[in-house]
Structure formats: C-alpha cells, structure tokens
Structure 1
Amino acid sequence: MAVMKMKFTFQKRVKLAQGLWLLSWVACVCGAITFTLGVFLKTELRRRSEVMDNTEIHAVPNTLMIVGLASIGINYFAGRISQDALDPSRFPRWKSFLQPFFTVAIFFTLLMLVTVIMSYAMKGNLEASLKIGLKNGIRFYKDTDTPGRCFQKQTIDRLQMEFQCCGNTDFRDWFEVQWISNRYLDFSSKEVKDRIKSNVDGRYLVDGVPFSCCNPSSPRPCIQYRLTNNTAHYNYEYQTEELNIYIRGCREALVNYYMGLMNTIGGVVLSIFLVQMSVLVSLRFLQTSMEAVAGQENVEIETEGYVLEKGVKETAKEFKDKVLKLLQLNQVQAAEGGEQKAEAGAAAPATPAS
C-alpha cells in the first residue's frame, strides 16, 4: 500500500511545481547558511586549538560544511526539475536521473540530522579535549623562550581575561605548576631556594596566580600572591572572603561557550533539515504524479502521487535485499578475479635457471 497517497489535478500539479521551485531556492539559501555556520564554528575551534588536545570535535563543523555544499547542489537540481516538470518534452529526460538523485539527497539530508545530534552529543569529547589542552597550556605558560610555545602565555592570559576564568578546573591549578620562568627568579634569594627545595621536582611553586586571573570589577586591589595566607594581607580571610580573582575554571567557561554555540547551530540546522525534507517530499509527489502523465495526450488528467510506492516495511526490505545482492555480486566478482589470477600463475611457464 502506497504511503501518503494523494490525488493531483493539473492545477494542483502546477501549484506544486511552482511551490517546489520557490522552496528549492529557499533551501539553497539555507544550504549556504549551513556552510557558513560550519566555517564559523571551525574558525572558533581553531582559535582555541592551543588549549585543545584532539581534533575530534572538528567533525561537527567539517560535516556542516560538506552538508551545506551538498544541499546547495541538491536544491539547485530540484529547482531545475520543478521548472521542467510540466513540459512533456523536457521532464522525461530527468527520469533516469531521479532515482540516484533521491538516494544522494536522502543520504546528505540524513547526514544533516546526524550533525544536529552530534552538536548536542559532543560535550564529553569537548570537555576531555579541553581538560588535557588547558592542563598543558598552564604547564607551558612560562616557556616564552621555547620554540613552538612562545605565545602560550599570551594565549592563556587572553583566554582568562576574555572568558573571565582562572586555571583549568579553578584557580588552584596554578598552585601545582611552576608558572614563573627561571629567568625571572633570583636564585641567590633564600626564599626562592627554600621553595625549590620544598618539592621533589625542584619547581618554584607559589600559592599565586597570573595577573590575568584578577577580576577588575572587584573593589579591592588584586591579591594574586599568597592567596591562602591570611596573615600576608590586611583584613583578609581566605576561606570566607569573596576573592578578587575569577573563581570559575576556564574548562567550564569554554565548554559552556562552545556548547551554547553548537546547541544554537544545532537548532538552526534542525530547522534547515525540515525545509530540506519538505523539498524532497514535494519533489517525490511531483515525480510520481507526473509519471502517470507520460505518454498521455491529455496532460490535464487527474493523477495520483505518493511518497513510497509500498509500505515502509516492504520498502525497507526491498532496499535491504538490493544492498545484499550488490554485496554478494561484488564478492563473487572478487573471487572470480582471484581464481583467474591463480590460473594465470599456474599456466605461466617456469623460468629456466641460469
């Protein structure tokens, strides 16, 4: 039994073709928007690549760009087909093209839906990537003279000021690394020597944070050193007072930023997906309703259009059988090719020894 079967008069077919032409160009613009969103997200991710450990998260913008370009091409041809739909001399030339066209169009439309799901599901990968990337960024903060890490300090400082955050998880992450370069330490000082000797790794660790962690909206001058020493500052209670540095970690800030960005993009792409599906459904109705007109002298006859010729289960089973048949055919051809090579090798004369 056909799915979504409808009757179409000549006037309805004309309106369907005109509506599809307009909708296909709207979908073309939507495809360009999808591509632009992919480029924008890719650019934003690359801006923070120094504090990200892997590139798995780039799967979302890469797929968006591919789907956007494919959508432009699909909807361009959908518009051309709708133009020729009511011309008995021109529409038949699309008949052999439509079946592979629908296969490609459905694949990329479903890929668009997969991208929407990915944009909501990548939080775990993003958080893991930032956790390691920020940890390395903080560890290499002091290496301003090391090739490849010269701008690491600048990157971290800009990041903390822009997102109003401090450290990886929180500001205490700075207590665990030596973030002050040895070139700025006075090794003749007893305090420096004692701090270096106080840990097995020989690092200069302080309970302080870089200047970029300071909160400019705080009324008190920034306390960035000896944060856990109440006696080092006047009228200061470390455990009860609201510190005048950023409390939120940069990982949380960046995850919230990027997930907000991807969730917004996911919502936009989901709307575009619905537009794209409308184009394909309308094109399918136009195709099936016009097939009954082929070979008829009276093009104004009433015809029937549908989305699927058979039920969903029957169509899925038919598609599965075709795929299995194609795979079996490839296996047989590969086996025959191997046998022919073996026979050719056995028939080849042996080379006499010199």
Structure 2
Amino acid sequence: MAVLRVTFTKFRRDKLAQVLWILNWVSVVTGLLLFSLGLFLKVEINKRWELMAEQDVHQVPNMLIAVGLVACAINFLGGKICYDCVDSSKFLRWKLILLPYIVCTFFFTFSVLAGALLCYGMRGQLEQALTLGLTQAMRFYKDTDTPGRCYLKRTVDLLQMEFQCCGNAGYKDWFYIQWVSNRYLDMSQKEVVDRLRSNVDGQYLVDDVPFSCCNTLSPRPCIQEHISNATAHYNYEPQTESLNLWMQGCRQALLSYYTQIMQSIGLTVLIIWLFELSVLTGVRYLQTSLENVLKQGDPDCESEGWLLENSFAETARSNLNIIKNLGKCNQIDTAENGDRNLNVPPCTPAPARYGPDNMPPTEQAKGS
C-alpha cells in the first residue's frame, strides 16, 4: 500500500509544479544564506585564531560553506525541472533524471540537518581549543621582541578589554606565569633576584595582573599590583574588592560569545532543513503523479501521487533483498570465473619422434 497517497487533477499538478518552481528559487537564496553563515562563522573564528589551539574548529563553517554551494546547484536544477513539468509533455525529457535527483536531494537534506546538529555539538571542541590557546597566548605575553609572538600582548590586552575578562579561567591565572619581560626587571635589586631564584623554572612570579584586567566601572583607582596583599594598599580588602578587576575568565567569555553565534546559526540551518524537506516532498509528489499520467496516456486525467509506492517495511525489505542479490551475484560471478580458469584441456601426448616402434635409432641398430 502506498504511503500518503494523494489524488491530483491536471489543475492541481500544474499548480504544484508552479509552486515548486518558486520554492526552488527561494531555496537557491537559502543556499546562499547557508554559504554566508558558514563564511561569517569562519571569519569570526579566524579573527582570534591565535587564541585557539590546533583543533577541528573549522569543520562546521567548512561544511556550511560546502552545503550552501551544493544547495544552490541542486535547487537551481530543481527549479528548471519543475518549470518544465508545468507542461506534462515536457516531463519525458526529465523522467530518467528525476528519480536520481530526488535521491541525491534526500541525502543532501540530511547533510543540512547534520550541519545544524554540528553547530550545537561544537561547544566541546571549541572549549578545548580556547583552553589550550589562551594558556599558550598568556605564556608568550611577555615575548614582545620575539618574531611571531610580538603581537600576542596586544591581542590579549584587546581581548580582555573588549570582552571584560581576565586570564583564562580568572585573574589568578596571571599569578602562575611570568608575564613581565626580563628587560623590564632591575637585576640590581635583591628582591627581583631572590624572586627569580626562588622559582624552580627561574620565572618572575608576582601577584600582579596586566592593566587590561582593570574594571572600568571600579569606584576607586585600579589596583593591579600586590592584589593578594591587603597591607600594600590603603583601605583595601582583597576578598571584598570584586569590582576592582574583571572577574570572568576570557575562556568563558569567548565560549559564550561563540556559543550564541552557533546556536543562532544552528536554528537558522534547522529551519532551512525543514524548508528543503518540504520542497523535496513536493517534488516527489510531482514525479509520481506525472509518471502515473504517462501510464494512463491522457495528460488531462487524474493521477495519484505518493511518497513511497509501498509501505516503509516493504520498501526496506525490498531494498535489503536487492542488496543481498547483488552480493550473491558477485559470489556467483567469482565462482564461475574460478571454474572457467580451471577448465584447462588435458595435455595431449607428444608425437613419437623415433620411428614406428618409438625406439631410438641406437636401439634399432642393436636389434638388427
């Protein structure tokens, strides 16, 4: 029994073809939208690529770009097919192409769905990339004279001021790395030398943070040195001065920023997937109804259209049998080829070369 059988008159078939022609051109626009969203996400990631470790964070934007381009091509072809199918006599030129087109479009729509799901599942990879990348950038913050790293100080400072964050997970991350360059340290001071010697790695570790960590909404001048020392500043309590520095870590700030972008893109892609699925359903109805018109031979007659000619179980069973038969055919062909190779004619005995008695000439001489 056919699944979702619908009866179409000639008027309804023509209207369906016209509507599908318009919807396919709208789908070309949605394909361009997918391409634009993937390009936008790729640009946003590339803006801060130096703050991310080498991870597969470009997988989602690359997929959206590829799916957008494929969507433009597929829906452009679908628009041409539906435009010609308004006249049922022109359906013959697309009859052999329409079914492979529907199958390809079916798998394409699920690739759109996969792109939407990847947008929601990218958070874990992005968090790992940001954790490793920010740690590396903070470690090279002081290397302003090293080629390839001289821009990291400016990048990290701009990041902390723009996103109102400090450190990787918090401002205390700056306490465990040397972020002050050695050229700014006065080696003649005993305190500096002792602090360098007290650390196993020879780093100059202090409870200070860069100026970009200062909270611009603080009611008092920013305290960025000796933050954990309550006696170093007047009327200062480290436990209660939460407005002095940005409390949020930059990893969480960036993760929230990218998560919001990916959720918005994922919702848009999901809506596009539903739209593409509806267009595919309409094209399937148009194909089956026009094929039934050809069987009846009257272009003005009523015809039935369906999504599947048989039920889901029967369709799955028939496809499974086709796959099994293909496997059996391959086995039979292999066996026949093997038997054909084994059918070698038996060797014929070599003809006698030494006379009728098949004896060498020396033996014949002895006998005589």
TM-score (norm 2): 0.87
Quote the Cα distance in structure 1 between the aligned partners of 2:209 and 2:24: 56
Quote the Cα distance in structure 2 between the aligned partners of 1:44 and 1:333: 55
Alignment match, 1:83: 83
Alignment match, 2:259: 259
Moved more, 165-174 or 189-198: 189-198
Moved more, 80-89 or 301-310: 80-89
Does the 8 A contact of 2:24 with 2:75 survive in 1?
Answer: yes
Report the 3-state secondary structure (helix = DSSP H, G, I; strand = E; otherwise coil) of the residue aligned with 2:11: helix
The structure-2 alpha-carbon separation of the partners of 1:304 and 1:199, relative to structure 1 and needing over 3 Å to count, comes to same
* Counterpart amino acid of residue 85 in structure 1: C
How far did 1:55 drift? Answer: 3.1
Report the 3-state secondary structure (helix = DSSP H, G, I; strand = E; otherwise coil) of the residue aligned with 1:141: coil
Alignment match, 1:352: none
Does the 8 A contact of 2:29 with 2:72 survive in 1?
Answer: yes
Equivalences for residues 118-129 of structure 1 within 5 A: 118-129=118-129
**Structure 2 portions without partners, runs of 5+:** 341-368
Alignment match, 2:192: 192
Equivalences for residues 299-310 of structure 1 within 5 A: 299-310=299-310
Alignment match, 1:203: 203
Identity of aligned residues (%): 52
TM-score (norm 1): 0.90
Quote the Cα distance in structure 1 between the aligned partners of 2:159 and 2:324: 53
Quote the Cα distance in structure 2 between the aligned partners of 1:24 and 1:221: 61
Does the 8 A contact of 2:35 with 2:65 survive in 1?
Answer: yes
> Alpha-carbon deviations, 1:83-139, whole Å to 9, x = none?
111324421111111222122211121011011111111211111111111111111
* Counterpart amino acid of residue 300 in structure 1: D
Report the 3-state secondary structure (helix = DSSP H, G, I; strand = E; otherwise coil) of the residue aligned with 1:90: helix
Quote the Cα distance in structure 1 between the aligned partners of 2:328 and 2:221: 76
Alignment match, 2:315: 315
Give the number of equivalent residue pairs: 340
Quote the Cα distance in structure 1 between the aligned partners of 2:326 and 2:254: 47
**Structure 1 portions without partners, runs of 5+:** 341-354
Report the 3-state secondary structure (helix = DSSP H, G, I; strand = E; otherwise coil) of the residue aligned with 2:57: helix
The structure-2 alpha-carbon separation of the partners of 1:183 and 1:306, relative to structure 1 and needing over 3 Å to count, comes to same
Alignment match, 1:221: 221
* Counterpart amino acid of residue 20 in structure 2: L
The structure-2 alpha-carbon separation of the partners of 1:297 and 1:317, relative to structure 1 and needing over 3 Å to count, comes to closer
Report the 3-state secondary structure (helix = DSSP H, G, I; strand = E; otherwise coil) of the residue aligned with 1:228: coil
**Counterpart check, 1:70 vs 2:70:** yes
Question: Rg bigger for which structure?
Answer: 2
Alignment match, 2:348: none
* Counterpart amino acid of residue 2 in structure 1: A
Alignment match, 1:239: 239
The structure-2 alpha-carbon separation of the partners of 1:179 and 1:102, relative to structure 1 and needing over 3 Å to count, comes to same
Quote the Cα distance in structure 2 between the aligned partners of 1:312 and 1:184: 75
Alignment match, 2:346: none
Quote the Cα distance in structure 1 between the aligned partners of 2:223 and 2:142: 20
Instruction: Quote the RMSD (CA, aligned, Å).
Output: 2.3
Alignment match, 2:175: 175
The structure-2 alpha-carbon separation of the partners of 1:295 and 1:319, relative to structure 1 and needing over 3 Å to count, comes to closer
Alignment match, 1:41: 41
How far did 1:331 drift? Answer: 8.8
The structure-2 alpha-carbon separation of the partners of 1:53 and 1:322, relative to structure 1 and needing over 3 Å to count, comes to farther
How far did 1:320 drift? Answer: 4.2
Quote the Cα distance in structure 1 between the aligned partners of 2:168 and 2:185: 25
